[in-house]
């Protein structure tokens, strides 16, 4: 608010007082503090005490209070050399100490709340008192002491101490709260320069003093939008989306986000939507953030990007913007062994998820950094793979899918699992591999020793085509011979092994009596 608006006047006086100097030297000079603070660095609204001067400050008394004119206003101040006037009202939050004064004058259109943030430098402990002057009377409103971080942050309802303007309708109140001109306007007919812009918008908030910031963007019904709110605070900033024609943020949002992060939002009606970013009330200091909205693409939502078998998909994630998720899809026609390989930088915090057609997470390689692998057995069906950036990670990646149908292999000797053949007779060894598999196979042949058991004899390589393969074997001597087949796997088929089959090479029993 600039100057003093017409109508009834509300004079709020703010006093910042201290109960003594910091420990240490009484004449702490400018060099004890950062240059930025000495020069008037931005520390939030309200008075910021310092010990930069030895003489009494110019606003040492109520009669010489510093006038605050435009909100929000940031001031660098000091209590060094401040005195106590006998007529000053006492503080309800601290013992008597030197105080400095600030004056805010508002009219009939006073804001519903006025917020104050004070950051005490050095080891100063201070209190902030607010009094309201109504003609010749002064009434205390509220006060607060600085906390262990040297910060005092609070708000009080200014409208409760002023005269409301009956001409100010709910619609006007809502518009001011919802879409301040500096937020929603650029050139006529152009979208918001904030959330609607391609690069999104950055800002910072603070609990109580600057608790929220509104943005707007025109959205189309039925179109999905990727929304991401990024903040690196040790807390949880909020984001709420309000539908068109919302008159107040006290209304229910179309989509409340409990905490910052990535969301997919699809509006039900077309129009200009509002995005309200809210500070975490439990976090001290500035809360920097970045918010962005953009139309979701096929790489972020269904139908997703097709992921052919053994094809490499290359992409990039950006956890600081809307490019947080990449979605891929593939079909499985036979029970298969699946392997997903995500290759990326060693320090990149990406999660790899395998999801069913219904969205259920079947497997997740999550919480680690760098390359990830998932191995699973899949039934016939439709599947999705989601890659998500975590902890604001960004960078390129390569995704490779390997699906191989699960096979079963069987081996027969002349169509049986056990046969007896005369010495010198050959047999036909046949392999059958399910799923009409193609690929290499091997058959191990062992002979039986009655003292030491089965002993290795040889390995025969077989080519399986359309699930079939065979060869002829003639036992080199009488005795028992055991065979086992191994299908070695191929591009589209997993390995498998058969049970054993035996052939006895022997003539008829005979006995020679002497």
Q: What distance in Å separates the CA atoms of residue 142 and residue 113, rounded to the nearest whole number?
A: 13
Q: What distance in Å separates the CA atoms of residue 129 and residue 92, rounded to the nearest whole number?
A: 8
The DSSP H or E segment spanning 10 is: strand 10-18
The DSSP H or E segment spanning 35 is: helix 35-38
- What confidence tens digit (pLDDT) does each residue in 380-408 have? 999 999 999 998 899 999 999 999 999 99
Query: Considering the chain, what is the average pLDDT of its residues?
Result: 80
Q: What distance in Å separates the CA atoms of residue 477 and residue 503, rounded to the nearest whole number?
A: 12
Whole-prediction pTM: 0.67
Where does the pLDDT of residue 207 fall: very low under 50, low under 70, confident under 90, or very high at 90 and above?
confident
Average of per-residue pLDDT across 482-495: 96
- What confidence tens digit (pLDDT) does each residue in 195-204 have? 444 578 889 9
pLDDT of residue 211: 85
Q: Please give the C-alpha separations between residue 88 and each of 85, 96, 469, in angstroms, as whole numbers.
A: 5, 10, 105
Q: At 160, give phi and psi (nearest 5°).
A: -70, -20
Q: What distance in Å separates the CA atoms of residue 67 and residue 59, rounded to the nearest whole number?
A: 9
Average of per-residue pLDDT across 279-307: 91
Q: Please give the C-alpha separations between residue 103 and each of 130, 390, 477, in angstroms, as whole numbers.
A: 10, 47, 114
Q: At 176, give phi and psi (nearest 5°).
A: -65, -40
Average of per-residue pLDDT across 155-178: 40
Q: What distance in Å separates the CA atoms of residue 129 and residue 142, rounded to the nearest whole number?
A: 6
Q: What distance in Å separates the CA atoms of residue 497 and residue 303, rounded to the nearest whole number?
A: 38
Q: What distance in Å separates the CA atoms of residue 233 and residue 285, rounded to the nearest whole number?
A: 10
């Amino acid at each position: 608010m600039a100057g003093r608006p017409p109508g009834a006047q509300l004079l709020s006086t703010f006093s910042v007082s201290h109960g003594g100097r910091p420990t240490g030297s009484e004449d702490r000079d400018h060099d004890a503090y950062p240059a930025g603070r000495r020069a008037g660095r931005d520390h939030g609204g309200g008075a910021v005490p310092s010990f930069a001067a030895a003489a009494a400050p110019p606003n040492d008394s109520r009669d010489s209070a510093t006038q605050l004119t435009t909100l929000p206003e940031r001031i660098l101040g000091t209590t060094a050399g401040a005195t106590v006037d006998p007529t000053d009202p006492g503080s309800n939050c601290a013992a008597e100490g030197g105080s400095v004064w600030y004056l805010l004058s508002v009219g009939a259109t006073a804001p519903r709340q006025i917020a104050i943030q004070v950051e005490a430098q050095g080891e100063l402990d201070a209190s902030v008192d607010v009094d309201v002057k109504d003609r010749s009377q002064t009434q205390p409103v509220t006060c607060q002491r600085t906390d262990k971080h040297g910060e005092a942050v609070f708000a009080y309802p200014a409208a409760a101490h002023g005269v409301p303007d009956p001409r100010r309708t709910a619609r006007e109140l809502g518009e001011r709260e919802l879409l301040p001109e500096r937020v929603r306007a650029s050139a006529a007919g152009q979208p918001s320069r904030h959330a609607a812009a391609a690069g999104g918008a950055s800002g910072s908030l603070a609990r109580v003093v600057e608790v929220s910031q509104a943005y707007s963007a025109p959205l189309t019904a039925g179109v999905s939008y990727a929304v991401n709110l990024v903040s690196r605070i040790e807390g949880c900033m909020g984001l709420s989306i309000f539908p068109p024609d919302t008159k107040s943020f006290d209304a229910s949002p179309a989509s409340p986000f409990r905490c910052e992060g990535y969301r997919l939002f699809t509006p039900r009606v077309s129009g200009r939507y509002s995005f309200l970013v809210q500070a975490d009330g439990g976090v001290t200091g500035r809360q920097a953030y970045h918010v962005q909205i953009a139309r979701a693409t096929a790489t972020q939502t269904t139908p997703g990007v097709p992921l052919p078998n053994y094809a490499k998909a290359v992409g990039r994630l950006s956890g600081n913007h809307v490019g947080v998720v990449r979605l891929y899809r593939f079909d499985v026609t036979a029970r298969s062994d699946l392997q997903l390989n995500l290759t990326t930088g060693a320090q990149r915090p990406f999660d790899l998820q395998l999801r069913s057609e219904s969205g259920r997470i079947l497997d997740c390689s999550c919480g680690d950094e760098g390359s990830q692998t998932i191995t699973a057995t899949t039934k016939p069906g439709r599947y999705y793979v989601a890659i998500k950036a975590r902890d604001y990670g960004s960078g390129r990646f390569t995704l490779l899918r390997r699906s191989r149908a699960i096979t079963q292999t069987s081996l027969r000797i002349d169509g049986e699992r056990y046969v007896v053949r005369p010495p010198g007779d050959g047999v036909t060894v046949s392999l059958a591999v399910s799923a009409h598999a193609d690929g290499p196979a091997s058959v191990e042949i062992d002979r039986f020793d009655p003292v030491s058991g089965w002993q290795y004899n040889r390995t025969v390589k077989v080519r399986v085509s359309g699930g079939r393969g065979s060869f002829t074997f003639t036992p080199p001597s009488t005795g028992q011979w055991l065979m086992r087949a191994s299908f070695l796997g191929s591009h589209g088929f997993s390995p498998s092994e058969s049970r054993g089959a035996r052939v006895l090479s022997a003539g008829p029993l005979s006995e020679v009596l002497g």
